[in-house]
């Protein structure tokens, strides 16, 4: 039986790794849940942001936080521009899969053309710092990621549930016609939401640049697990997406600490299947 | 419609013959292997669409069935020396059983639709892949098939795989065509549009979904079995990655996933695109060009290639004069109210958690009688209809229709025993024309009869409800009034013993109300037994033989309309609650 | 037979030496440009998809070699034309594209793709058409069951038995030889194959394997695995890693404030690991590095310089030539030698010649008469020292002044 230190450390690492799933899932969850658009290019946008942060950092020596200040608004514009296309051509939920998949393929090719397929690593001082808490170590960057993701998720949740604009958005998602009858300008709000979703990709990308080594095909790495996280967290619910991310991350990690690490997906996804079938109140 | 039906019959044998002769035609072997991959994707995408396209159960787990089939063949042939061809039946059966096992649990849970079903199938894929990876089935080292002899069905091994791929592809398309034009297909399309309504109209939704799932998995499995020989070296990461589920979705979406032929078109287009830029110098740009082509294709054909073409074909052909329908009205003399009880409800109780929606309702309805069901909002009227039609299971009490205890029968069985209902807000099958809507209801709800007869009856009921000339219109093209009448036509087409009408008149303007009342009278004149929920008192008094008043889940009063309406207790609950509200 | 081989070898060596000496002395004079219809050599690489970073390296090496060969006498006096297709990192694509190369493009010769699965897919095609296939990156020699498939990289026929002992010898040479170790491996066929061998050989030599752990290939989450390693605290850590996995693991370990003692990595991406702050003193498998004694091998200096230039030109971040690129160079050296020596483009003759002879490549002199057409194993150990890979074991291959540094 593994020691308490090991389990505790695995739990901490897992929760923090899950922050990345959650952060990536949030943007996807918003557009899927509230606009009924499944944006497969979300991952590609995140990696494009990561490459941009890498380029700014290595070539121009811009600090990653300043790069983020450039990249996130740029992503917002890309997200809004994407929505212009969806809106103009009245892309439905299924067609959005194909359109955004194609976007992702184009972005992947573009990244490979400019940055080549070889690995790119943005070495910074942040990458491997940890805080020591008793017998446990808490990596600073991942902690920061989780805090940022938490703040974003909380802020977005408050915005969606407490403000007029947010409520209007959710009302439009339930029934666009009725919401329109109450004077909700769904189309304008949709641009805002798409932009925000892509902005999240920008934030996720900044952290990816700092945490990961980049390669164009890495775009597809998190697709499966993040899809699962989006749905577990309930579509359109950023807080749910983040919590689901943390949960999957933690369960995988603890499973890796106890069993053979290769068995970990069985543990977390069997758990997910059981939860789906059992359907407890809290989910 | 006829073009759609007859053209494949003509073209198919020619195409199959041409393709079957191809390996002998002296083309370079590459074309065998390229076409094999086209067949591979056509079969996979089409099989995915059997459940996910037809019935709308969007699966992200097609790789699970494909992979299980692939590993079945690989393990049997490479580790147990079973001849390759003999492994193929197992590669079909095992994934099909897996699908039945999953479906038997998942399809019982109504909430596991839409994205939750997608998630579940995705999770199942991960779990199966991990199990195969960590058990002796694979163990991580991969399975090498080089020692497995390939039977010489054709002069070359690639030719053999080509022929197997072609055979599976033809069988898959034939299956999809057959399903698409069968009762099963009609049921699946109905499930796609509105599963609850499909069940209430007599579609055995659980069995149909299970059948579609098993069929879909079996095809994916045998495709995998053959593919094991094509790939030659099998690894878990190469088999269960997201390529298969993602590509089958993209191909089906591009071609049109509700059409039997759509996924095939999508598969041909995407596979060809992937091969068109395999040259070393343009590989990366080629990827980007593929992306651009796909975006342009789907933006201009948002519903997929096949449905869009069909739509355009229809627009083009409908410039010819619309066929007018002439059906002799069926005149049935009015029958008196009989003595037999068509409906016997005893102590009907329905609880939702702590809420008691129906608290022991007793109600008998005689043959040919019209009973109006009234009561304030939340008194349990619609719940009673939902319970009788089997949408909700009873908490306690008994319901018998025509002397037969309904017990815990599923809704579709109740529909087949002669109970038809309408919905307050019309719930037509949105992707079916008015005629198809009625045909579906007639096929599943009524007694078994030939398709010709069903077709004629459907036309009759459309004419009866004043929808003649709108047969080919999709429900979105009908106004509320017409959609309400379509609801009635669907209910009547099932030849019900007991007709449950839920607020047929709400939302209609006075002229439409008068029209609707005339229609209900006409229905009554045919001798139907009707229970109807209605708020409009004028209609209740005019139409009902008896009125039942529900209040807080109990039967509050029952009797002749005018007497009941004058009952001071009834007036008080009505004035106190309904009118005040 | 032996005598004939000997005679052949002598003749070839003499001819090679003469040609080499002359071409070094007066390169431009003797370069009779090849003429006539080009000899088409076809192959696929994973130019797109998840193996794309390896393809970039192989493509450079192959193009370099084609120019090099055409700068000499080509193949049989005819120029070489390289027909490169993109298999998109998918074995089924590799299979059908090799069919395309052979039956549609009608290439004269083929070269193998990269990585075990595409190689095996292509090997089946080669076998059906009787084509010679030279490949450089299949880590499980026993799967190379086709008698005209030849390895351009000296794995030896049983690397799972031979190479672990090279590693254990190296470990035995350090001041405090490890008594305990952890074997951690990706469940990738060629990595797992070596990991199992490592576990067995280590136990056979009395090194206690505290933990044998397998993780899913492509895993990105090493937090829990790192915590387990830290707790086990072995004297030696052997990682059957591919690509970035080693970097991820070492970063995860550092986040736990734990630096593994001696640690070995099987097939990591060399650039990122060398440059990582955690990569210092990491050990790794190799066949050569651009250092002495390897730089003294014929052509190696030129290859290294040329590779650097071409890699920089297409904007690759790591421009130093490595064993992978040399695998591709070796493939072409074998092809050039075998075709010209056999005097034929017929696969049967080329294969027969290769089986009976040795070829001088950047990896040294290779022979192909052992099991699965493999010859002697020549896997070495390199170590990151000052952000550069240096061969440290066996000692005779270490550059002057370079030693294995224990930690």
Helix axis angle for A64-88 and A93-115, nearest 10°, is 140
pLDDT at C12: 45
Contacts across the A-C interface (CB distance below 8 Å): 136
How far is the alpha carbon of C175 from chain A, nearest alpha carbon, in Å? 30
Q: For testing the chain A interface, which of C221, C252, C253 should be mutated: the one with the most A CBs within 10 Å?
A: C221
pLDDT at res. A253: 94
Q: Domain map of chain A by residue range? A: 4-13+28-220
What is the pLDDT, as a whole number, of residue A175? 75
* Residues C387/C274, Cβ–Cβ less than 8 Å: yes
Q: Do B274 and C188 touch (CB under 8 A)?
A: no
Helices (H), chain A: 4-35, 41-59, 64-88, 93-115, 140-162, 164-174, 176-181, 186-211, 223-232, 238-258, 264-278
Task: Say what the pLDDT of residue B376 is.
Answer: 84
pLDDT band with cut points at 50, 70 and 90 for residue B19 = confident
Q: Which of residues 205-224 of A touch C (CB under 8 A)?
A: 212-213, 215-217, 220-222
* Dist. CA B39–CA B263, nearest whole Å: 11
pLDDT higher than threshold 60 for residue B531: yes
Report residue B442 CA to chain centroid gap: 15
- Tell me the mean pLDDT in the region B100-115: 87
Nearest to C52 by CA among B496, A120, B191, B412: A120
Q: How many Å lie between the alpha carbon of B239 and the closest alpha carbon of chain A?
A: 15
Region B53-62: what's the mean pLDDT?
A: 92
- In sequence order, the β-bridge partners of residue C81 are C40
Question: Do the chains contact at B253 and A97, CB–CB below 8 Å?
Answer: yes
| Contact between residue C265 and residue C239 where contact means Cβ atoms under 8 Å apart | yes
- Which of C59, C89, C216, C224 would you mutate first to test chain A, the one with the most A CBs within 10 A? C224
Alpha carbon B123 to its chain centroid, in Å, reads 24
The pair of three-digit structure tokens given for residue C55, joined into one six-digit string? 């393809």
Selection from A109, B237, B259 nearest residue C49 by Cα? A109
pLDDT in tens, A22-66: 999 999 999 998 888 999 999 999 999 999 999 999 999 999 999
> What average pLDDT score do residues B6-11 get?
72
Report pLDDT for C28: 42
| pLDDT band with cut points at 50, 70 and 90 for residue B497 | confident
Q: Are A46 and A24 a contacting pair, CB within 8 Å?
A: yes
Q: How far apart are CA C328 and CA C56, in angstroms?
A: 12
User: Taking CB atoms and an 8 Å cutoff, what residues of chain A touch C239?
Assistant: none
Distance from CA of C184 to the nearest CA of A (A): 10
pLDDT score, position C5: 39
Please give the model's pTM, rounded to 2 decimal places. 0.91
Q: Is the pLDDT of residue B2 over 70?
A: no
As a whole number, mean pLDDT of residues C158-183 equals 95
Please check whether residue A101 touches B, CB under 8 A.
Answer: yes
Distance, in Å, from the CA atom of C53 to the CA atom of C279, rounded to the nearest integer, reads 20
Burial class (CB in 10 A: 0-12, 13-18, 19+), A24: buried
Which B residues, 89 through 108, put their C-beta within 8 Å of a C-beta on chain C?
none
Do B123 and A276 lie within an 8 Å CB cutoff? yes
CB–CB of B431/B186 below 8 Å? no
- The yes-or-no verdict on residue A178 having pLDDT over 80 is no
Interchain CB contact of C81 with B (< 8 Å): no
- Say yes or no to pLDDT of B332 above 70: no
What confidence tier does B95 reach under pLDDT thresholds 50, 70, 90? very high
Q: Distance (Å) from the C-alpha of residue B297 to the closest C-alpha of chain A?
A: 9
Which residue of chain C comes nearest to B288, CA vs CA? C48
Query: Helix (H, G, I), strand (E, B), or coil: what is residue B246?
Result: helix
C33 burial type by CB count under 10 A (0-12 exposed, 13-18 middle, 19+ buried): exposed
Spell out where B186-340 has E strands: 233-234
Q: Which residues of A touch C244 (CB under 8 A)?
A: 119, 213, 215
Among all residues of chain B, which has the CA nearest to that of A264? B130
Please give the Cα distance from C40 to C76 (Å, whole number): 12
The whole-angstrom separation of Cα C273 and Cα C288 is 17
- The fraction of chain A above a pLDDT of 90, given in percent, is 57
- Tell me the chain A residues in contact with residue C45 when contact means C-beta distances shorter than 8 Å: none
Segment C67-77 shows an average pLDDT of 93
Chain B, residues 173-232, CB within 8 A of chain C, namely 227, 230-232
Q: What is the pLDDT of residue A281?
A: 59
Q: Is the pLDDT of residue B89 over 60?
A: yes
Contact assignment for C214 to A262 by CB distance below 8 Å: yes
Tell me how far apart the alpha carbons of residues C114 and C96 are, in angstroms, rounded to a whole number: 15
pLDDT tens digits for A135-160? 899 999 999 999 999 999 999 999 88
The greatest distance separating any two alpha carbons of chain B, rounded to the nearest whole angstrom, comes to: 93
- Judge whether residue B322 has pLDDT over 60: no
On the question of pLDDT at C204 being above 50, the answer is yes
Residue B525, pLDDT score: 77
A186 and A179 Cβ atoms separated by less than 8 Å: yes
pLDDT at B409 over 90: no
Q: How many CB pairs under 8 A join B and C?
A: 112
Give pLDDT, residue B511. 82
Least confident residue range of B15-29, B255-269, B394-408, C136-150: B15-29
Determine the distance in angstroms separating the CA of A268 from the nearest CA of chain B, rounded to an integer: 9
Retrieve residue A117's tokens. 């397929």
Q: Could you tell me if C98 and B28 are in contact, meaning their C-beta atoms sit under 8 angstroms apart? A: no
What pLDDT score was predicted for residue A280?
A: 62
Is there a contact between B133 and B239 (Cβ–Cβ < 8 Å)?
no
**Mean pLDDT across chain A:** 89
Peptide bond before residue B142 is cis, with ω within 30 degrees of 0? no
CB atoms A220 and B291 under 8 Å = no
| Residue carrying structure tokens 């370069």 | C31
Is the pLDDT at C29 greater than 50? The verdict is no
For position A115, what pLDDT does the model report?
A: 92
The answer to whether the CB atoms of B140 and C96 lie below 8 A apart is no
B291 part of contact set with chain C, CB < 8 Å: no
Neighboring chain A residues of B242 at a CB cutoff of 8 Å:
220, 223-224
Shortest CA distance from C215: residue in chain A: A262
Give the pLDDT score at B328: 41
The answer to whether the CB atoms of A264 and C216 lie below 8 A apart is yes
Contact B92, B291 (CB under 8 A): no
First and final CA of chain A: distance in angstroms? 31
Three-class SS state of C360 = strand
User: How close, in Å, is residue C322 to chain A by CA atoms?
Assistant: 14
Give the closest of A85, A95, A223 to B242, CB-based.
Answer: A223
> Once rounded to an integer, what is the mean pLDDT over residues C94-116?
94
- The whole-angstrom separation of Cα B174 and Cα B181 is 11
User: By the CB < 8 Å criterion, does A15 face chain C?
Assistant: no
From the centroid of its chain, how far is CA A174?
23
C-alpha span between A41 and A78 (Å, rounded): 11
Single out the residue of B442, B327, B69 nearest to residue B220, CA to CA.
Answer: B69
Of residues B28 and B315, more confidently modeled: B28
Query: Helix crossing, C189-204 with C159-172: angle to 10°?
Result: 50
How far is it, in rounded angstroms, from Cα C270 to Cα C391? 13
Q: How confident is the model at residue A93 (pLDDT cuts 50, 70, 90)?
A: confident
User: pLDDT at position B330, please?
Assistant: 46
**Cα distance between residue C292 and residue C391, in whole Å:** 9
User: Tokens at residue B163, please?
Assistant: 């022929």
Q: Encoding tokens for residue B505?
A: 């008149």
- CB spacing of B129 vs A99 below 8 angstroms: no
Distance CA B45, CA B306 (A): 14
pLDDT at res. B8: 66
Average pLDDT over residues C328-335: 96
Question: DSSP letter string over B277-314?
Answer: T-BTTTHHHHHHHHHHHHHHHHHHSTT-HHHHHHHHHH
Best probe of the C interface among B280, B284, B287, by most C CBs < 10 A, is B280
Peptide bond into C313 cis (omega under 30): no
pLDDT category at C110 given cuts 50, 70, 90 is: very high
The three-state DSSP-derived secondary structure of B339-400 is: CCEEEEEEEEEEEECCEEEEEEEEEEEECCCEEEEECCCCCCHHHHHHHHCCCCCCCEEEEE
Put simply, the answer to whether A215 touches C52 (Cβ < 8 Å) is: yes
Instruction: Residue B551: name the closest of B530, B531, B578 by CA.
Output: B578
Question: What's the mean pLDDT in C39-55?
Answer: 92
Separation CA C199–CA C165 (nearest Å): 11
Residues on chain B touching A102 (C-beta within 8 angstroms): 290-292, 294-295, 298
Please write the tens of the pLDDT for every residue from B470-495.
888 999 988 888 898 999 999 988 88
Average pLDDT of chain B, as a whole number: 87
Instruction: Tell me which of A3-7, A185-189, A231-235, C153-157 is least confident.
Output: A185-189
Q: Nearest by CB to B238, from C86, C117, C192: name it.
A: C117
Per-residue buried b or exposed e for B277-299, using 16+ beta carbons within 10 Å of the residue's own CB: bbebeebbebbbbbbeebbebbb
Predicted pLDDT at A282: 55
The answer to whether the CB atoms of A213 and C244 lie below 8 A apart is yes
Q: Do B284 and C95 touch (CB under 8 A)?
A: no
Q: How far is A179 from chain C (nearest CA, A)?
A: 43
Which secondary structure element, helix H or strand E, spans residue C255, and what is its range? helix C245-255
Interface residue of A119, A130, A212, A220 to substitute, partner C, most C CBs within 10 Å: A119
- In contact, C290 and C263? CB cutoff 8 Å: no
B192 contact residues in A (CB cutoff 8 A): none
Residues in a beta bridge with C150: C134
pLDDT digits (tens, 9 = 90+) for C209-261: 999 999 998 898 999 999 999 999 999 999 999 989 999 999 999 989 999 99
Asked if the Cβ–Cβ distance from C120 to B233 is below 8 Å, we say yes
Task: Enumerate neighbours of A (3 or more CB pairs within 8 A).
Answer: B, C
**CB of C185 closer than 8 Å to CB of C197:** no
% of chain C residues with pLDDT over 70: 92
Which chain A residues have a beta carbon less than 8 Å from that of B111?
279
Using the Cβ of A249 and the Cβ atoms of chain C, whether some distance falls under 8 Å is answered with yes
């Amino acid at each position: 039986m593994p020691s308490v230190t090991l389990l505790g450390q695995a739990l901490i690492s897992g929760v923090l790794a899950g922050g990345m799933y959650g952060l990536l899932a949030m943007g996807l969850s918003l557009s899927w849940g509230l606009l009924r658009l499944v944006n497969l290019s979300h991952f590609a946008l995140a990696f494009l942001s990561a490459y941009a942060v890498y380029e700014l950092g290595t070539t121009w020596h811009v600090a990653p936080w300043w790069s983020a200040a450039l990249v996130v608004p740029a992503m917002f514009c890309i997200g809004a521009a994407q929505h212009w296309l969806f809106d103009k051509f009245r892309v439905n939920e299924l067609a959005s899969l194909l359109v955004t998949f194609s976007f992702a393929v184009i972005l992947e090719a573009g990244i490979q053309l400019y940055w080549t397929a070889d690995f790119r690593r943005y070495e910074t001082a942040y990458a491997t710092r940890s805080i020591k808490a008793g017998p446990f170590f808490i990596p600073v960057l991942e902690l920061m990621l989780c805090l940022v993701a938490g703040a974003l998720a909380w802020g977005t949740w408050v915005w969606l549930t407490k403000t007029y604009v947010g409520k209007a958005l959710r009302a439009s998602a339930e029934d666009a016609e009725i919401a329109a009858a109450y004077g909700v300008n769904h189309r304008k709000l949709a641009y805002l939401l798409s932009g925000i979703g892509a902005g999240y990709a920008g934030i996720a990308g900044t952290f990816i640049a700092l945490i990961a080594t980049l390669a164009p095909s890495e775009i597809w790495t998190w697709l499966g697990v993040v899809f699962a996280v989006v749905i577990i967290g309930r579509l359109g619910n950023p807080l749910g997406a983040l919590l689901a991310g943390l949960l999957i991350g933690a369960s995988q990690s603890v499973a890796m600490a106890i069993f053979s690490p290769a068995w970990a997906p069985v543990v977390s996804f069997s758990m997910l299947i059981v939860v789906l079938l059992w359907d407890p109140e809290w989910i | 419609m006829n073009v759609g039906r007859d053209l494949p019959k003509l073209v198919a044998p020619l195409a199959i013959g041409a393709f079957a002769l191809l390996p002998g035609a002296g083309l370079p072997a590459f074309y065998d292997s390229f076409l094999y991959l086209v067949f591979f994707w056509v079969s996979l995408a089409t099989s995915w669409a059997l459940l996910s396209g037809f019935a709308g159960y969007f699966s992200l787990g097609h790789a699970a069935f494909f992979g299980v089939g692939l590993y079945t063949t690989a393990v049997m042939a490479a580790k147990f020396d079973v001849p390759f061809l003999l492994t193929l039946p197992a590669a079909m059966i095992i994934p099909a059983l897996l699908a039945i096992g999953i479906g038997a649990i998942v399809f019982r849970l109504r909430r596991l639709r839409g994205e939750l079903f997608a998630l579940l199938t995705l999770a199942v894929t991960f779990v199966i892949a991990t199990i195969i990876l960590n058990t002796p089935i694979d163990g991580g080292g991969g399975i090498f098939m080089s020692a497995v002899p390939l039977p010489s069905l054709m002069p070359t091994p690639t030719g053999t795989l080509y022929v197997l791929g072609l055979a599976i592809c033809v069988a898959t398309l034939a299956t999809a065509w057959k399903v698409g034009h069968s009762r099963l297909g009609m049921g699946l399309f109905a499930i796609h549009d509105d599963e609850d309504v499909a069940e209430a109209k007599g579609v055995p939704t659980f069995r149909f979904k299970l059948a579609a799932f098993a069929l879909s998995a079996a095809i994916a499995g045998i495709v995998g079995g053959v593919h094991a020989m094509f790939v030659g070296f099998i690894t878990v990461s190469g088999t269960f990655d997201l390529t298969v589920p993602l590509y089958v979705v993209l191909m089906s979406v591009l071609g049109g996933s509700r059409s039997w032929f759509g996924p095939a078109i999508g598969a041909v287009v995407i596979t060809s695109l992937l091969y068109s830029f395999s040259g070393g110098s343009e590989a990366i740009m080629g990827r980007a060009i593929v992306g651009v082509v796909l975006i342009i294709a789907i933006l201009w054909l948002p519903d997929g290639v096949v449905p869009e073409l069909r739509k355009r074909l229809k627009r083009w052909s409908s410039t010819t004069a619309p066929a007018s329908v002439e059906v002799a009205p069926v005149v049935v003399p009015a029958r008196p109210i009989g003595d037999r009880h068509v409906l016997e409800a005893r102590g009907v109780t329905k609880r939702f958690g702590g809420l008691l929606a129906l608290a022991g309702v007793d109600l008998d309805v005689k043959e040919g009688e019209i009973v109006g069901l009234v009561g304030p909002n939340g008194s349990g009227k619609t719940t009673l209809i939902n319970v009788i039609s089997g949408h909700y299971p009873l908490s306690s009490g008994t319901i018998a229709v025509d002397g037969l205890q309904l017990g815990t029968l599923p809704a579709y069985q109740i529909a087949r025993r002669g109970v038809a209902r309408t919905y307050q807000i019309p719930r037509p099958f949105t992707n079916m024309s008015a005629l198809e809507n009625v045909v579906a209801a007639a096929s599943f709800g009524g007694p078994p009869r030939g398709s010709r007869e069903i077709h004629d009856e459907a036309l009759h009921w459309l004419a009866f409800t004043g929808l003649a000339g709108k047969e080919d219109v999709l429900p979105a093209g009908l106004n509320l009034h017409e959609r309400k009448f379509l609801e009635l036509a669907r209910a009547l087409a099932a030849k019900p013993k007991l007709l449950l009408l839920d607020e047929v008149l709400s939302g209609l303007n006075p002229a439409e109300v008068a029209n609707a009342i005339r229609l209900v009278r006409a229905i009554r004149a045919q001798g139907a037994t009707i229970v109807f929920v209605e708020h409009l008192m004028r209609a209740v008094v005019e139409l009902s033989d008896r009125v039942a008043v529900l209040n807080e889940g109990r039967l509050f009063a029952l009797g002749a309309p005018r007497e009941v309406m004058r009952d001071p207790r009834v007036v008080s609950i009505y004035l106190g609650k309904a009118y005040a509200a | 037979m032996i005598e004939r081989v000997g005679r052949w070898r002598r003749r070839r060596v003499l001819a090679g030496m003469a040609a080499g000496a002359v071409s070094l002395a007066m390169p431009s004079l003797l370069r009779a440009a090849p003429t006539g219809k080009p000899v088409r050599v076809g192959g696929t690489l994973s130019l797109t998809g998840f193996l794309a970073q390896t393809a970039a390296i192989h493509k450079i090496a192959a193009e370099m070699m084609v120019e090099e060969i055409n700068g000499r006498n080509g193949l049989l006096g005819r120029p070489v034309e390289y027909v490169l297709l993109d298999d998109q990192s998918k074995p089924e694509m590799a299979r059908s594209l090799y069919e395309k190369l052979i039956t549609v493009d009608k290439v004269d010769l083929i070269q193998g793709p990269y990585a075990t699965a595409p190689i095996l897919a292509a090997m089946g095609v080669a076998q059906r058409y009787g084509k010679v296939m030279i490949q450089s990156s299949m880590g499980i020699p026993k799967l190379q069951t086709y008698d005209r498939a030849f390895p351009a990289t000296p794995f030896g026929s049983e690397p799972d038995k031979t190479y672990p002992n090279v590693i254990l010898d190296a470990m035995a040479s350090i001041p405090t030889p490890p008594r305990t170790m952890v074997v951690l491996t990706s469940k990738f066929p060629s990595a797992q194959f070596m990991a199992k061998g490592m576990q067995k050989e280590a136990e056979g030599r009395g090194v206690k394997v505290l933990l044998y752990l397998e993780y899913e290939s492509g895993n990105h989450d090493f937090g829990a695995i790192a915590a387990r390693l830290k707790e086990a605290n072995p004297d030696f850590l052997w990682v059957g890693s591919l690509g970035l996995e080693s970097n991820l693991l070492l970063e995860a370990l550092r986040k736990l404030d734990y630096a593994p003692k001696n640690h070995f990595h099987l097939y990591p991406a060399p650039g990122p690991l060398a440059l990582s702050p955690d990569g210092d003193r990491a050990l790794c498998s190799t066949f050569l590095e651009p250092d002495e004694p390897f730089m003294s091998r014929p052509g190696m200096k030129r290859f290294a310089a040329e590779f650097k230039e071409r890699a920089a030109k297409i904007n690759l971040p790591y421009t130093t030539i490595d064993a992978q690129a040399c695998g591709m160079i070796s493939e072409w050296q074998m092809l050039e030698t075998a075709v010209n020596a056999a005097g034929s483009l017929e696969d049967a003759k080329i294969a027969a010649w290769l089986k009976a002879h040795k070829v001088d490549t950047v990896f040294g002199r290779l022979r192909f008469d052992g099991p699965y057409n493999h010859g002697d194993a020549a896997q070495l150990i390199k170590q990151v020292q000052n952000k550069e890979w240096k061969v440290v074991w066996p000692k005779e291959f270490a550059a002057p002044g370079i030693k294995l540094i224990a930690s």
